[in-house]
Amino acid sequence: MGGAVELRQLKTFLVVAELLSFNQAADALNFAQSTVSARIRALEEELGVPLFDRLGKKVALTEAGRIMVRYARKMADMEAETFAEVAGWEGPGGSISVRMPQSLGTYLLPRVLVRFQQQYPRVNLDINTCTFSTLKQELRSGITDMAFLLMDTIHEASLKSEILGFVNLLFICSSTAELSRRKVVRLEDMEQQTLLLPKYDCRYKSTFLQDLAELKVTPAAVLEINSIETIKACVEQGVGVTLLPEIAVQEELAQGRFASFQFEGESLETAILLILHKDKWLSQSMEAFIEEVRTCFC
């Protein structure tokens, strides 16, 4: 890239991306259509990739365009938040982008949001499940502000971490399953089982599968599902067994709908890590959000 991407180009891009029309974007911005087209063309030339497919009078975002929407929104929010912080405007706005395991997001996050939104009602939150493979790049680029992961340590020189607490991990089966009646369960017993595992609930899943592989234990099937509630419904119907944080199954265990078991009496737990880029600047609202998470998760 030769020069620098201008914020006005990004703001124009966001309007076109929302309306999917250069004409409508020009009307909304009170610009000539030629001005809108010129800014988008300059942005595409700077990036070296097309952001829109031109389909006659219609336009559609390319894959690069869809990625650019996230970055452009973040940069526009950062501008608004910076002005609010520096000028001391009442009630800061902006946005916070968070990566969080589904189990934490579903069963703990609502408690955080109740308190946080009372303090910062104008702050937007973009919360997604954790995709570890792209996390380092997202934190470095700033498209993701912070991440909360279920893992014990992270070894990346560019990242810093803080342990917020620990959660128990439980192997769960239906209360009527044969495993629920065993006094001792071995890893080798998973050879006969269907495993239902969360697709994006962080590293404990991969650690468990690695343990099985080292023992040359091959489950009957491994079903990766991107919904903990769906996994729980399948387990209750006797489809298979799962490994989940205790916070995700407390209610079902108390009601007797699930049974938990341990492998030869060994209990498991994992840490809740807060992950930030080592050079991350934290706004007032980001610091407040982290503090609410600390209070809740601990």
Please report the pLDDT score of residue 246 as a whole number: 93
In a 10 Å sphere around its CB, with 0-12 CB exposed, 13-18 middle and 19+ buried, how is residue 228 labelled?
buried
| pLDDT tier for residue 54 given thresholds of 50, 70 and 90 | confident
Half-sphere exposure at residue 66, Cβ-oriented, CA atoms within 13 angstroms: 5
The alpha helices in the chain, defined as continuous H runs, are 7-19, 22-29, 33-47, 63-87, 102-107, 109-119, 132-141, 204-214, 228-236, 250-254, 284-297
Please report the pLDDT score of residue 14 as a whole number: 86
How far the first Cα of the chain sits from its last, in Å, is 45
Q: Which CATH class is domain 73-164+272-297?
A: alpha beta
Question: Which of these, 107, 60, 55, 76, lies nearest to 12 by C-alpha position?
Answer: 76
- Which range, 11-15, 41-45, 253-257, 282-286, is most confident? 253-257
Rounded distance between C-alpha atoms, residue 230 and residue 22, angstroms: 42
Q: Do 73-164+272-297 and 166-269 show the same overall fold? A: yes
Predicted confidence (pLDDT) at residue 291 exceeds the cutoff of 90: yes
Please report the pLDDT score of residue 2 as a whole number: 46
Structure confidence by residue, pLDDT tens digits, 119-132:
888 888 888 887 67
Structure confidence by residue, pLDDT tens digits, 181-232:
887 888 898 988 999 999 876 678 888 899 899 999 999 999 999 899 999 9
Mean pLDDT of 74-88: 69
Write out the two tokens for 286. Answer: 């980001």
In CATH terms, the fold of domain 166-269 is D-Maltodextrin-Binding Protein; domain 2 (3.40.190)
Query: Which option is the CATH number for 7-71: 3.40.50.1170, 1.10.10.10, 1.20.59.10, 3.30.70.270?
Result: 1.10.10.10
Q: Note the pTM of the prediction, 2 decimals.
A: 0.71
Please, which residues have CB within 8 angstroms of residue 56's CB and are 6 or more apart in sequence? none
Write out the two tokens for 205. Answer: 């899943």
Please report the pLDDT score of residue 136 as a whole number: 84
Predicted confidence (pLDDT) at residue 94 exceeds the cutoff of 80: no
Tell me the domain boundaries of the chain: 7-71, 73-164+272-297, 166-269
The sign one gets for the Cα dihedral 19, 52, 69, 224 is positive
Please, which residues have CB within 8 angstroms of residue 26's CB and are 6 or more apart in sequence? 32, 33, 35, 36
Mean pLDDT of 19-36: 86
Rounded distance between C-alpha atoms, residue 259 and residue 176, angstroms: 8
